[in-house]
Amino acid sequence: MTIQANAKVNLVLRILGKRTDGYHEIETLMVPVTLADELEVVVAAGTGITIACDDPSVPADTSNLAWRAAEAFARESGLTFRTSIILRKRIPHGAGLGGGSSDAAATLKALDALLETKLGDKALEKIAATIGSDVPFFIQNKPSWCRGRGELLEAAGQLPPTKLLLIKPPFPVSTAWAYQAAGAGRRPSEPQRLGGLEICNDFEGPVFQKFLLLPAIKSWLFEQPEVDAAMMSGSGSTLFAILRGNAMDLDRPGLAARATERFGGSLWVSECSTLSS
């Protein structure tokens, strides 16, 4: 079975405090986008898991969330089977776009279909929560408010499709480091207005203090006429620009080219759109 694993952006990300279980309490509005990895999942008789990936920097062992998803599905379903996964990466890792979490959710959905277990979204979300905080969101893969440590979902309803430009510099940001830095006297992020929604990301303060290229790119984006808003996604290091509706089909390639010209060819740049449902 071949299945798509979409990336996401965070239009809102608030860190509300540290929990007694060691996690952070958050409130975030996550929206899937058209950028996606592709997974080919095969099940057969036997046991074991293998992963092959076209990106050599992606681990193909138990640290890969797709591997952990296959393990979790076998454990929770009580079934014995062999899983082979071919992963074609389009979402950079360490980017704040949820690529690993989305791959894990796609693996769960593929196994549920291939093995005809018909667990349903809620049961799959419960398994997903044992793998990672963002993984449950990608089961239904629609705009959602995510609370708790990210596993408590509330549908956000229909959001208008929006065109984005994603820009990632040639370095990742460790999510564990970002949470630690955010808890050490963090500065609140500066909110922006996007229609009737106030968008913000509380990770921007500490991450921007360490990685000075990121605020420079964000400031540059605000100067561009086709950009309506700009913000970091997740704990970084990707920034996304929300593009204006007027003439952006004409201007958008120019914006990507200008970003590369201004900040160097080592940038990863991708055009995509949000998915409304």
**Cα–Cα distance for residue pair 175/177, rounded to 1 Å:** 5
**Cα–Cα distance for residue pair 239/230, rounded to 1 Å:** 7
Count Cβ atoms below 10 Å from residue 188 Cβ, excluding itself. 11
Q: Which of 8, 163, 168, 218 is catalytic?
A: 8
Tokens encoding 40: 């080919």
Q: pLDDT, tens digit, for every residue of 37-64?
A: 999 999 999 999 999 999 998 999 999 9
* Residue 122 is among the residues annotated as catalytic for this protein: no
Tokens encoding 20: 């007694």
* Residue 134 is among the residues annotated as catalytic for this protein: yes
User: Where in the chain are the domains?
Assistant: 2-155, 163-273
Asked if pLDDT for residue 96 goes beyond 70, the answer is: yes
Q: What pLDDT was estimated at residue 244?
A: 85
Higher-scoring residue by pLDDT: 96, 180: 96
Higher-scoring residue by pLDDT: 159, 43: 43
Q: Which of 37, 103, 112, 134 is catalytic?
A: 134
Q: What pLDDT was estimated at residue 247?
A: 43
Query: Is CATH 3.30.9.10 what the domain over 2-155 is classified as, yes or no?
Result: no
Q: 163-273 has which fold?
A: Alpha-Beta Plaits (3.30.70)
CA 52 vs. chain centroid, Å, equals: 21
Asked if pLDDT for residue 186 goes beyond 70, the answer is: no
Cα three-residue angle 98-103-107, rounded to 5 degrees: 150
Q: pLDDT, tens digit, for every residue of 226-245?
A: 999 999 999 999 999 999 86
Percent of the chain with pLDDT over 90: 80
Return the closest-CA partner of residue 255 out of 220, 229, 211, 208.
Answer: 220
Average pLDDT over all residues of the chain: 92
**Residues 276/160, Cβ–Cβ less than 8 Å:** yes
Q: What pLDDT was estimated at residue 184?
A: 61
Whole-structure pTM value: 0.93
Q: What pLDDT was estimated at residue 276?
A: 80
